[in-house]
Amino acid sequence: MTIKPYLHEVKYYECDRMGITHHSNYIRFMEEARVDWMDQLDYGFDRMEAEGVVSPVVAVECHYKHTTTFKDIIEIKVSVAETSPLKITFAYTMSVAGKTVCTATSTHCFLENGRPVSLEKRFPELFANIQNLDK
């Protein structure tokens, strides 16, 4: 299965006084893209949460390459950089018109009733789908 990139159009309110997209918004863009990615696997975060599992962020890293501005369309490609039964690290490549503007990662764990849960055991079909992406 191949996941389609997520597209985000930069909003006016996402820009600072210099007219440049504020750096903090890229974290939000990553979340939008990650939610879309899970939806494309037919296992959205809403479904996971309805079944009692949450997936908090435990680490984020961003590398800003070029600025973006109001009305730019940012294409966000999400992939899995690393996975284990307890954690998943997503990699993001954000580009505008083919030019990379930001690369980033976010790492997430899985909790049920506040305790770590194995994605492999709790959601074996989802875990298998993630392991087999683009293979």
Domain ranges of the chain: 6-131
The residues near 72 (Cβ < 8 Å, ≥ 6 apart) are 9, 10, 21, 96
Q: Percent of the chain having pLDDT more than 70? A: 98
Q: What is the pLDDT of residue 132?
A: 81
- Indicate the burial class of 131 (C-beta count within 10 angstroms; 0-12, 13-18, 19 or more): exposed
Q: Is a pLDDT exceeding 70 seen at residue 134?
A: no
Contacts 24+ apart (CB under 8 A), 85-88: 85/118, 85/119, 85/120, 85/121, 85/127, 86/110, 86/116, 86/117, 86/118, 86/119, 87/58, 88/55, 88/119, 88/130
What does the pLDDT look like over 18-41, one tens digit per residue? 999 999 999 999 999 999 999 998
How far apart, in whole angstroms, are the C-alpha atoms of residue 97 and residue 59?
28
| pTM for the full predicted model | 0.92
Domain 6-131 has CATH 3.30.70.3040: no
Q: What is the pLDDT of residue 37?
A: 95
What does the pLDDT look like over 69-96, one tens digit per residue? 999 999 999 999 999 989 999 999 999 9
Stretch among 88-97, 107-116, 119-128 having the lowest mean pLDDT: 119-128
